[in-house]
């Protein structure tokens, strides 16, 4: 496997998933050679510059993983459980799989490992807390998702019941805004918000994502960068512009007394995050850093969750 003149050989774990499929499209458009690694990497499609390599990272040994990383210059992990539905959003096996990936990356001597984790590990400004541990986070997160029809549709497509509940919550909030709410709407909002405050269904998984950062921080025994997509990460247009922030969650607007995160979270489309990652592959600036990228999300037209080789 060799790359074209200026291109690199990039391994993408999870090439047909949400972030992974957008990343493969961006890489191939920009002349890189992609090796897609997952259980069904052929679901990304067929095109020049793309080679599927079947691999179950949960079952493979560290040696098998290292062997599968052969002839790869840069490895990007876009591994995630979402394609298996809402019940797969668990603390385990994510933490264990990430630990194994790192050991295999070291064994294979990968030149640059780009790990895509979650927003939950980003620190809240003026605190020592990560988003996943901040008392205002989950409610602010769901409220802002519910503001966007495109985001709610993305959640329905990907996570079934979590998305359907979010749609009902959005509808009830819209009814209040239009002055046409019923007692059912008020009850819906109250019940939904109580359940989020008590235990958001994605909380264990989001906490797993923030725990994996500890495998990387301060560890210079391999070459890594840790990307946390900004919280309102969703499908959307490719603007080609983004802003990088190190360690902290970028917040917009002014904080209120009651809730410091309400209405202040930012996001990025999967297409723009892919641009940021490929820029980092082509011109590494963020070695041994934990960073996020945020961008304009004002376009609220629903875009597909997953793209394929037909979208190149």
Ligand X SMILES: NC(=O)c1ccc[n+]([C@@H]2O[C@H](COP(=O)([O-])OP(=O)(O)OC[C@H]3O[C@@H](n4cnc5c(N)ncnc54)[C@H](OP(=O)(O)O)[C@@H]3O)[C@@H](O)[C@H]2O)c1
Q: Residues in the site for ligand X, rule: CB under 6 A?
A: 14, 16-20, 38-41, 55-58, 78-83, 116-119, 209, 229, 231, 233
Q: What's the number of CA atoms in the CB half-sphere (13 Å) around residue 58?
A: 9
Residue 89 main-chain phi, psi, to 5 deg: -80, 80
Q: Which is nearer to ligand X, 9 or 305 (CB)?
A: 305
For the CB of residue 230, give the shortest distance to ligand X in the complex, in Å: 7
Q: Which is nearer to ligand X, 98 or 189 (CB)?
A: 98
For the CB of residue 127, give the shortest distance to ligand X in the complex, in Å: 18
Q: Please, are residues 123 and 246 in contact by the beta-carbon 8 Å criterion? A: no
For the CB of residue 86, give the shortest distance to ligand X in the complex, in Å: 12
List, in order, residues 6 or more apart from 312 with CB less than 8 Å away: 25, 28, 29, 47
Question: How many beta carbons lie within 10 A of that of residue 52, not counting itself?
Answer: 19
The rounded distance, in Å, linking the Cα atoms of 304 and 98 is 27
Tokens 């995630």 correspond to 80
Q: Which is nearer to ligand X, 57 or 75 (CB)?
A: 57
How do strand 243-246 and strand 290-294 relate by DSSP bridges?
Answer: antiparallel
Nearest to 81 by CA among 209, 196, 212: 209
For the CB of residue 297, give the shortest distance to ligand X in the complex, in Å: 12
The partner residues of 269 in beta bridges, in order of sequence, read: 234
Q: Which is nearer to ligand X, 163 or 209 (CB)?
A: 209
Tokens in use for 244?
């990088």
For the CB of residue 176, give the shortest distance to ligand X in the complex, in Å: 26
Q: Which is nearer to ligand X, 252 or 257 (CB)?
A: 252
CB-count burial class (<10 Å; 0-12, 13-18, 19+) for 202: buried
For the CB of residue 68, give the shortest distance to ligand X in the complex, in Å: 10
In this chain, which residue has its C-beta nearest to ligand X? Answer: 17
Q: Which is nearer to ligand X, 117 or 189 (CB)?
A: 117
Q: Please, are residues 42 and 52 in contact by the beta-carbon 8 Å criterion? A: yes
CA 216 to chain centre: 17
For the CB of residue 105, give the shortest distance to ligand X in the complex, in Å: 15
């Amino acid at each position: 496997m060799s790359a074209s003149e200026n291109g690199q050989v990039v391994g993408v774990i999870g090439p047909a998933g949400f972030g992974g499929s957008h990343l493969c499209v961006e890489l191939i458009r920009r002349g890189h050679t992609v090796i897609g690694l997952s259980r069904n990497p052929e679901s990304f499609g067929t095109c020049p510059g793309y080679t599927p390599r079947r691999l179950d990272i949960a079952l493979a040994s560290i040696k098998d993983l290292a062997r599968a990383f052969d002839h790869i210059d840069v490895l990007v992990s876009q591994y995630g459980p979402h394609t298996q539905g809402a019940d797969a959003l668990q603390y385990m096996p994510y933490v264990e799989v990430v630990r194994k990936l790192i050991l295999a990356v070291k064994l294979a001597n990968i030149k640059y490992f780009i790990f895509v984790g979650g927003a939950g590990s980003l620190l809240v400004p003026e605190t020592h807390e990560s988003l996943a541990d901040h008392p205002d986070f989950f409610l602010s997160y769901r409220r802002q998702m519910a503001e966007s029809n495109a985001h709610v549709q993305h959640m329905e497509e990907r996570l079934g019941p979590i998305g359907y509940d979010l749609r009902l919550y959005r509808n009830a909030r819209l009814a209040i805004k239009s002055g046409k709410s019923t007692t059912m709407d008020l009850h819906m909002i109250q019940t939904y918000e109580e359940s989020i405050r008590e235990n958001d269904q994605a909380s264990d998984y989001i906490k797993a994502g923030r725990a994996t950062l500890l495998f990387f921080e301060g560890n210079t025994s391999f070459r890594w960068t840790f990307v946390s997509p900004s919280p309102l990460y969703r499908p959307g247009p490719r603007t080609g512009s983004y802003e990088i922030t190190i360690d902290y969650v970028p917040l917009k607007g002014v904080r209120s007394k009651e809730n410091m995160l309400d209405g202040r979270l930012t996001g990025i489309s999967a297409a723009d995050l892919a641009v940021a990652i490929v820029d980092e592959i082509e011109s590494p600036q963020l070695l041994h850093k934990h960073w996020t990228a945020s961008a304009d999300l004002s376009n609220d037209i629903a875009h597909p969750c997953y793209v394929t080789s037909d979208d190149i």
